[in-house]
Structure 1
């Protein structure tokens, strides 16, 4: 297999390995091992240093493996996905309900990302969501527009949004270790990295490290976990400085299941205008690959709150994991707002809320920084700290940090950042 630089235009090799005819076996002899550490959220981190491999880390691992670099991906959760995860619920009468309760879809404008998405499409991992979308004004009680003619297609994972990350984590050359929490990353004198598990177990030595979890190198990590960050910030002072202040936006998601289709709603996804509580809603069961025989008789919807609403709840309840009572109250308030738009919304037979909250929300004046609606990202950076480089990179230490916070707060930004991190490490390791 030849190096994928030609097809993806993402890897720039130095002169010592500029020959495009170099095959995977040759690269395997040059590059040893790279560790990719997944990303997480505040609830998991507080409990067990939880990392949940998001699309940036999964894309990076896949790109490295395709260039003959041995990749070990560490993930303390049971599976990959991050904000592209899919939630499985069981109703009181035993119905299985699946919800894309994070990012509902993604669009692509970058040509390199589009080529990658087309590859996923050919493998049956993604499909275009060909439905009508719009915007609803809660004052006039009318739909204002329809974005059917929007220039960028809307893509979803098949059969769930997490399918993309699952496939990437299982590609040849990627060894995925789930249930493995990272306690310490240490840079050794021989320019190797040593990884130690939370339980003290030696997880191996690596020629390079990719972090898709910015909280691992954040001074606020200690405030949540009571432990020092896995990455010693003194090793990378410049990168640590960039990671200190990334404003983010929280969100509550409400998962709903109805016995009958909501025929009064003419679109399958729409944003809310002039609502202080809701920002976005979509019919999850209208996506490609979702309407199987066991789901055909009912309809599933996901609602997203505004950032201001979520921050108000957090101001009252704190940053700890929400109680069942809090989530029940949030679910009732979000659904009441949904019913109030005047479209004859019936009572659902299933209703449950979930909080998306990023680690960086932990700061004294947290409420003041929540400014961006959910559908532009997901618990969510509101700034890009490496727009040109597309990832944070320490060449001397062979350390890359990637994620949507580097490029843009959406799935495409995360993919671009993962590709950039893979490019940096492949270029570096090819010269060894």
Structure 2
């Protein structure tokens, strides 16, 4: 566990007081609006009893008012691209962190996930992010490091739009498209430096956050998971909302509850023989296609041609994504997908492949391997347009691609931004919290893009 930091007393203020403090930070020094009268506190200050915490959560804002310790530690809840980049950037600033991730059968990485299946011949699928682009110089510097180390390369394969019936139109881009040389998985590993400043715990489902004596206590089903000077929520959806709803962080909770997310089904399918996809003159067959006018299908990606273009005589491994509309209509608990639903989704999506390619119903060859997965919080439908959210009074922040879009670039930049914001806050010793409030009141606006995310600059 991380070294125990100096205990700092926690107090609670009404939400109106926090609104007044935050309003002052954006008013150029003007006098903020008058807040409602403060309610009297019950019991002793400082949250010395759990019952007092429970009574105050729905009315009051948790406030940590004493100095930051010399060696603070941050809990990062979520091991996807944003959480990993946040931990890495914190380490670069000399701040320790512990990353909690729920993944069971692989290392952290979230949507930078690659599945390897051994079945006589190894089958390889990127089953989340299919490729990425770079439009921000900070992210481009990281991509250049990956290029230099041989982790990524530019994807020159044919990508375009596929209309129902097999009509394909190439999409040419002035922005390079990048892929992991051996899949996206190694990129997540590369985001964590070899340092004792970062500790990763998995699988670990943080189920409760509790402020106590100036620290955040974390629990996994009532099992203590340490005490920390600040917390980062690096994932969204039901889990994040559940954690925040009882944490005493009402403004963070409000922002997360306003977030609208769509679900998307992924189907991994391996075929013994190549699929009869359209061929474009000298370009040959496409490697990736955004599918139009097919209800159950929004993307077809040939992992085998994308990752191993010189390989022949092996099964073709395809990643298929549903539309957001189909995902919404067929949403189930992603942790426990009923077999009947999994079978229905598989048949619908394979039927979508037939429709997209202009094949007669039932003529598609049966795959030799399939696996369905529901990304329950796949795409943000609205975003606040800020790179991170931070509540300085509660020493808690949120990062994730959903804050500015849905891409690896957005996730990485969000984690970096929050880490540097927290490190700057620590340097200030928490003396000027009004200067560090960010993203607590932004309106959320609709975001547009493909049903598998956005690709800045593409």
Q: What TM-score, normalized by structure 2, do the two folds share? A: 0.70
Which residue is 1:235 aligned to? 248
Q: Secondary structure at the match of 1:81?
A: coil
SS of alignment partner, residue 244 of structure 1: helix
- Counterparts in 2 of 1:393 and 1:217: CA distance versus 1, 3 Å: farther
Q: Give 1:50's aligned residue.
A: none
Matches within 5 A, 1:138-153: 138-139=164-165, 141-143=166-168, 145-147=169-171, 149-153=172-176
| 1:342 maps to which of 343, 346, 358 | 358
Contact map agreement 1:383 1:409 (CA 8 A) in 2: no
**Change in 2 beyond 3 A, CA 1:105/1:393:** same
Is residue 277–residue 286 contact of structure 2 (8 Å, CA) maintained in 1?
A: no
Q: Partner residue of 2:226?
A: 204
Corresponding residue of 2:289: 270
Q: Aligned to 2:340, which of 304, 325, 339?
A: 325
Could you say which residue in structure 1 is the equivalent of 2:266?
253
| Structure 2 CA distance for partners of 1:319 and 1:262, relative to 1, 3 Å | closer
* Secondary structure at the counterpart of residue 351 of structure 1: strand
RMSD: 2.6
Contact 1:33/1:70 (<8 A) preserved: yes
Please give the alpha-carbon distance, in whole angstroms, between the structure 1 residues aligned to 2:75 and 2:292. 44
Q: CA deviation at 1:32?
A: 2.5
CA 1:187–1:215: 2 relative to 1, 3 Å: farther
Which residue in the other structure is 1:49 paired with?
none
For 1:305-324, list aligned pairs within 5 A: 305-314=322-331, 321-324=336-339
Cα-to-partner distance string for 1:297-330 (whole Å, 9 max, x where unaligned):
221111111122222223xx67773222221221
Offset at 1:63?
Answer: 0.9
The answer to whether the 8 A contact 1:259-1:298 is kept is yes
1:123-142 equivalence runs, <5 A: 123-139=149-165, 141-142=166-167
Q: How does 1:100-119 map to 2 (within 5 A)?
A: 100-119=126-145
Measured in 1, the distance between the counterparts of 2:397 and 2:81 equals: 15
- Contact between 2:401 and 2:414, CA under 8 Å: does it hold in 1? yes
| TM-superposed deviation, 1:352 | 2.8
- Separation of aligned partners in 2, 1:309 and 1:58: 31
Q: Deviations over 1:321-376 (max 9, x none)?
A: 32222212211221122123226854332233222212xxxxxxxxxxxxxxxxxx
Residue by residue, what CA displacement relative to the aligned partner does 1:215-273 show, whole Å, maximum 9, x if unpaired? 47755x3xxxxxxx3x4546221111111121111111121112233364421001112
Q: Residue 181 of structure 1 is aligned with which of 194, 201, 205?
A: 205
Structure 1 residues 347 and 414: CA distance shift in structure 2, 3 A: same
Residue 239 and residue 328 in structure 1: after superposition, are their counterparts in 2 closer, same or farther (change >3 A)? same
SS of corresponding position for 2:424:
helix
Counterpart in the other structure of 2:48: none
Which of structures 1 and 2 has the bigger CA Rg? 2
Distance between the aligned counterparts of 2:226 and 2:330, measured in 1?
42
Q: List aligned pairs for 1:33-182, cutoff 5 A.
A: 33-38=73-78, 53-78=79-104, 79-91=107-119, 94-139=120-165, 141-143=166-168, 145-147=169-171, 149-169=172-192, 171-172=194-195, 173-182=197-206
CA distance in structure 1 between the aligned counterparts of 2:391 and 2:222, rounded to whole angstroms: 28
Q: Distance in 2 between matches of 1:131 and 1:412?
A: 21
- Report the alpha carbon displacement of residue 193 of structure 1 after superposing the two structures with TM: 2.3
- Secondary structure at 2:401's aligned position in 1? coil
- Check conservation: 1:61, 1:174, Cα contact below 8 A: yes
Provide the residue aligned with 1:382 in structure 2: 381
Equivalent in the alignment of 1:9: none
- Give the aligned length: 348
Do the aligned residues in 2 keep the contact of 1:217 with 1:233 (CA within 8 Å)? no
CA distance in 2, matches of 1:196, 1:107: 37
Provide the rounded CA distance (Å) in 2 between the counterparts of 1:188 and 1:158. 46
> Does the aligned pair in 2 maintain the 1:76–1:180 contact within 8 Å?
yes
Is residue 90–residue 96 contact of structure 2 (8 Å, CA) maintained in 1?
yes
With over 3 angstroms needed to count, the CA separation of the structure-2 counterparts of 1:310 and 1:80, relative to structure 1, is: same
